[in-house]
Amino acid sequence: MHKILIKTQNVFRHFEEDEKRIPVLRDIDLDVREGEFLMLLGPSGSGKSTLLRLLAGLAEPDGGVVTRAKMGMGFVFQDFALFPWLTVEQNIRFGLDMNDTPETLKHRVVHQLVAKMGLQGFEHSFPRELSGGMKQRVGIARALAVNPKVVFLDEPFSALDTFTATKLRAEVLEIWQERKVTMVMVTHSVEEALLLGDRIAVFSHRPATIEKIIENPFPRPRNTHAHEFVKMVEHISQLVE
C-alpha cells in the first residue's frame, strides 16, 4: 500500500474575471503518494500551477477538500525566484535561517548542497552573475536545504536551453532516487513527463480537469529515443490536445 501524503477530493477553484466566474479547476481527485515522482502535465493555462499551489497549501480551494500531512516542503520555480540581494550561499541557507537551525548544521548542509549541485566557487556570487542553469541549481539547492518530504517544482526547466535542461533533469532524478523524497512537478512537455514521472496526471484544456492518470510503464533508466517511448509520447500528446 502507498502512504498518501496529500489528497484532493472534488476540488474546485475559480477566478473572477469581468464579474464572471471562470472555473480553473473542476472535480479534481488526486493523491500524492509518499516517495513518488508525480507529474502534472497539460497545456498552458490548464490549471497546473493552480493545482500545485493547492497541493502545497499555498492556496485554498473554493470547493472540495485538500487533506495534507504535516511535513516539510520545498519549492522550485520556472523563473528561479532567487533573492537577488542574497549570495548563492545565503539563498541556499534561507530556509534554514528561518528555521533556527544550529550554525554548524547549516554550514554542513550548505556545503553539501553546493558540492552536490556543482556550485563550488560561486558561493559568494549573486544571482545576477549566474547563468540560468546555475540559478536553477541554486533554486534546487535552496529547496532541498530544509530536507523536505515533498518538493514541488513548477516547470523548473522551461527557461533553460535544452542541453542544460537535459542535464538538470538527470540530476533531479538522481536526487529523487538518493533522498527518497516525493516530487510533484508541473510540465507542458510530454517527453519530460514520461522521462521523469512514475505517474502522470494529464490535464485537458477544458473543462480544467484531470483527464487521466497514467502509470508510467517504462522502467528506469529510460531511453527517450526507444521506439516504444516515442510511441507513448505520441499517444499522450493526443490526450493533451
Binding interface with ligand ADP (CB under 6 A): 15, 24, 42, 44-50
Nearer to ligand ADP, 114 or 186 (CB): 186
Q: Select the residue whose beta carbon is closest to Mg ion and give its number.
A: 49
CB of 45 to ligand ADP, least distance (A): 4
Helices (H), the chain: 48-56, 88-92, 94-99, 103-116, 132-145, 162-179, 190-196, 227-240
CB of 26 to ligand ADP, least distance (A): 12
Q: Does 136 bind Mg ion (CB under 5 A)?
A: no
Which option in ligand ADP, Mg ion, none does residue 42 bind, with CB closer than 5 to 8 A by kind? ligand ADP
- 73 and 153 Cβ atoms separated by less than 8 Å: no
b/e burial code for range 80-109 (CB count within 10 A of at least 16 → b)? bebeeebbbbbbbbbbbeeeebeeeebeeb
Q: C-alpha grid cell for residue 220? A: 528506469
Contacts with Mg ion, 11-50, as mask; x by CB under 5 A: --------------------------------------x-
Q: Give the count of beta carbons closer than 10 Å to the beta carbon of residue 126.
A: 16
Selection from 193, 194, 148, 184 nearest residue 7 by Cα: 184
Please confirm whether the linkage preceding 156 is cis (ω < 30° from 0): no
Nearer to Mg ion, 89 or 155 (CB): 155
Report the alpha-carbon distance of residue 151 to residue 154 in Å, rounded. Answer: 10
Report the alpha-carbon distance of residue 180 to residue 177 in Å, rounded. Answer: 5
Q: Does 187 bind Mg ion (CB under 5 A)?
A: no
Residues 43-62 that bind Mg ion (CB under 5 A): 49
Nearer to ligand ADP, 72 or 207 (CB): 207
CB of 155 to ligand ADP, least distance (A): 8
CB of 128 to Mg ion, least distance (A): 24
CB of 175 to ligand ADP, least distance (A): 23
Binding region for Mg ion (CB under 5 A): 49
